[in-house]
Structure 1
Amino acid sequence: MAGSSLGTLFTTTTFGESHGPAIGAIVDGCPPGMALSAADLQHDLDRRRPGTSRHVTQRQEADQVEILSGVYEGKTTGTPIALIIRNTDQRSQDYSDILNTFRPGHADYTYQQKYGLRDPRGGGRSSARLTAPVVAAAGIAKKWLKEHYGTYFVAYMTQLGEIPIPFESVEYISNNPFFAPNRTMIAQLESYMDALRRDGDSCGARITVQAKQMPIGLGDPLFDKLDADIAHAMMGINAVKGVEIGSGFQCVTERGSFHGDEMYPDGFATNHAGGVLGGISTGQDLDISIAIKPTSSILTAKNSIDMHGQPIQVQTKGRHDPCVGIRAAPIAEAMLALVVMDHALRHRAQCGEVVCITPAIAAQRP
């Protein structure tokens, strides 16, 4: 199956299915000599792990990552790093009812049409379970970028279904199950999800993800733009149906006198461009938003067809996220980190010795 790899110099290839014995990733292109252990990757895996609250799937997976290769005596060797995560809590019998049917809004139908067969257990290869090895692989990228540039990543929920979530502080993100940057709205969000679950329905979400302390100059003109690769990677996340960079679609209503980020000797005045101009990073924060659709596996009966094209009604049983966006923040961080890491190595290879006489200005004016 094509479409399982991301990156040019720093590549991540995932493998496995939702209900197979294991899932994992092969990470190639990591520079040698960086200290690395499974513990460096586990923190973000724990952040996306299922079964952590009543608002997400109750599938109980430890998501303990193992490093099988590419590390010797605690340091990367420059060879491919193989990561594996064992699946331990599959309940494939929950999917027997959809063996010969298609869930509306799910990849069941398109996989069947493209390949002539599919693994129906938990969605098989199309399951969001496959984001776990992506998060593990990105732990490598995050560590290298932090050590070399000071770059770090932050993601949080800015809307749950119909409810916008105003930003208060990044300090609140890790203190609630929604990755919400707002401590006053948690009770409202929990009530909303409880009602949604009682109705047997699902909802979407909007996630903001940022890369902070970015280096200048990452990205290439035209078809290898940094923002083009970011959009490509974000659309590779399960259930993502829209990507905005900076002002995004709001820029349609903005005027050039407002949208253009003015520059002063002491820094940029604004960041409507989202940290990218001409496909190349400005040194400002990368500012991305993604739209995540409602989960297609729901208890509410919906009209569909069976394998022979006959009309049926589908009602999905099993353990599903009523909103996949609730666990999407660390996944969005991971995808952004993989893209930034790849472009950092590409920039270093081509332009590592370039000397620019123009001083770099601050990402934001004091």
Structure 2
Amino acid sequence: MGNTFGTKFKITTFGESHGKAIGVIVDGCPAGLPVDEAFIQSELARRKPGQSKITTQRKENDEMQILSGVFEGKATGTPIQILIWNQDAKSKDYSHIAEKFRPSHADYTYHEKYGVRDYRGGGRSSARETAARVAAGALAKLYLNAKDIQVNAYVSQVGDVKLNKSYQELDLTKTEDNIVRCPDPGMAEKMITLIDDTRKDRDTIGGVVSCVIRGVPAGLGEPVFDKLHADLAKAMMGINAVKGFEYGSGFEGVKMKGSQHNDAIFTEDGKVRTKTNYSGGIQGGISNGEDIYFNVAFKPVATIMNDQESIDVNGEKTIVSGKGRHDPCVVPRAVPIVEAMAAIVIIDHFLLNLTTKLS
């Protein structure tokens, strides 16, 4: 029913924004993998609410509990269940929309699909669910890190404030040095100011998260329907508020001719390389060993603190007033979510690849 993602490394998330807890079941985690609980917790801390003035002020420690699948610090190969208790849900903040549909939210579509909806914080449609994905992604990262595969995302744009530098020009170790998670200090300050000004105007704004995956070996991905970039696109488009995905040269590539866009092939120290990387590390749906890089566009948060026209469950006109605690811009907290979903795709294809060749 759309709650499960992956083939060999399969995750199923559960829970609602204002329910008792949220969590994830990870099936297919390789047996013997050292499970660093402190690392998983640190990844959750990067996503948790209430971490700065430009994020929602909901206070959740997001302390996780591993209930199964780990023994003496290692994965046993059986399903790993991770639970995260909800601690700071204020459901009364949403009682005014119990029978109203908020513009650009999932209220109306959930009502039409199921005939019933959990209006408390958006229920299952809330980005609160992504904490479970981050926990699963942390497990994937532990596996990939052991194979020298690194996944790094950062904020490259907020509104019209755009970082016009490629990832090669940036020191991505500085991404966590500021609250907006932009590795360029000067641009970070401009982004923070824009988000804070937007918040004070009781409004919201969108942005872009860029991601680079280094160390992926050639040969990951399937050639037809399960192309590596197609699975990355599905993973990213399944994140709340995402409106666009592009990899490699993306939409800018349409301005080039084939003679400019083709990535010339050569060998270096016995390894096949390309002189440029407009392909974004993927050709024919299969990784070629170069860096995989992509951009993910996030819309402005739908909940704004100003009155909006809408309708209720009876089709009558009404006014929806924004209440509760919400992010004025999702991209600072979306960085670890993008990394998590990317890591889940890569480990899934890595494990799939083990079954398609003898060595």
TM-score, structure 2 as length reference: 0.96
Q: 1:310: which partner in 2? A: 316
Q: 1:299: which partner in 2? A: 305
Q: 1:16: which partner in 2? A: 15
Q: How does 1:154-303 map to 2 (within 5 A)?
A: 154-167=152-165, 168-266=170-268, 267-303=273-309
CA apart distance, 1:260 = 1.1
Q: Which amino acid aligns with 1:182?
A: D
Q: Distance in 2 between matches of 1:277 and 1:105?
A: 36
Q: Distance in 1 between matches of 2:25 and 2:65?
A: 12
Q: Which amino acid aligns with 1:330?
A: P
CA RMSD across the alignment: 1.0
Q: Within the alignment, does 1:98 sit opposite 2:97 as a pair?
A: yes
Q: 1:40: which partner in 2? A: 39
**Contact map agreement 2:177 2:183 (CA 8 A) in 1:** no
Q: 2:84: which partner in 1? A: 85
Q: 2:129: which partner in 1? A: 130
Q: Distance in 2 between matches of 1:214 and 1:143?
A: 14
Q: Which amino acid aligns with 1:163?
A: V
Q: Which amino acid aligns with 1:218?
A: L
**Contact map agreement 2:181 2:188 (CA 8 A) in 1:** no
Unaligned stretches of 5+ residues in structure 1 = 354-366
Unaligned stretches of 5+ residues in structure 2 = none
**Contact map agreement 1:16 1:22 (CA 8 A) in 2:** yes
CA apart distance, 1:288 = 1.1
**Contact map agreement 2:222 2:285 (CA 8 A) in 1:** yes
CA apart distance, 1:40 = 2.7
Q: Deviations over 1:58-115 (max 9, x none)?
A: 0000011111000111111100000000100001010011111111111111001100
Q: Deviations over 1:269-328 (max 9, x none)?
A: 111111100000011111011110010011121111011001112121110001111211
Q: Distance in 2 between matches of 1:49 and 1:69?
A: 23
**Contact map agreement 1:208 1:290 (CA 8 A) in 2:** yes
CA apart distance, 1:49 = 1.1
Q: Which amino acid aligns with 2:252?
A: Q
Decide whether aligned partners of structure 1 residues 235 and 74 sit closer, same or farther in structure 2, where only a CA change above 3 A counts. same
Q: 1:356: which partner in 2? A: none
Q: Which amino acid aligns with 1:142?
A: K
Q: Distance in 1 between matches of 2:33 and 2:195?
A: 42
Greater Cα shift, 93-102 or 158-167: 158-167
Greater Cα shift, 72-81 or 266-275: 266-275
TM-score, structure 1 as length reference: 0.94
Q: Report the secondary structure of 2:185's partner residue.
A: coil
CA apart distance, 1:352 = 4.3
Q: Distance in 1 between matches of 2:35 and 2:193?
A: 41
Q: 1:351: which partner in 2? A: 357
Identity of aligned residues (%): 48
Q: Distance in 2 between matches of 1:93 and 1:201?
A: 22
Q: Report the secondary structure of 2:310's partner residue.
A: strand
Q: Distance in 1 between matches of 2:275 and 2:351?
A: 29
Question: How many residues matched?
Answer: 351
**Contact map agreement 1:23 1:85 (CA 8 A) in 2:** yes
Greater Cα shift, 316-325 or 261-270: 261-270
Q: Report the secondary structure of 1:317's partner residue.
A: coil
Q: Which amino acid aligns with 1:126?
A: S
Hey, which bits of structure 1, 4+ residues long, moved more than 3 A? none
Q: Report the secondary structure of 1:351's partner residue.
A: coil
**Contact map agreement 1:98 1:316 (CA 8 A) in 2:** no
Q: Which amino acid aligns with 1:294?
A: P
Q: Distance in 2 between matches of 1:109 and 1:352?
A: 50
Q: 1:108: which partner in 2? A: 107
Q: Distance in 1 between matches of 2:41 and 2:285?
A: 32
Greater Cα shift, 177-186 or 115-124: 177-186
Q: How does 1:48-63 map to 2 (within 5 A)?
A: 48-63=47-62
Q: Distance in 2 between matches of 1:16 and 1:308?
A: 28
Q: Which amino acid aligns with 2:64?
A: V
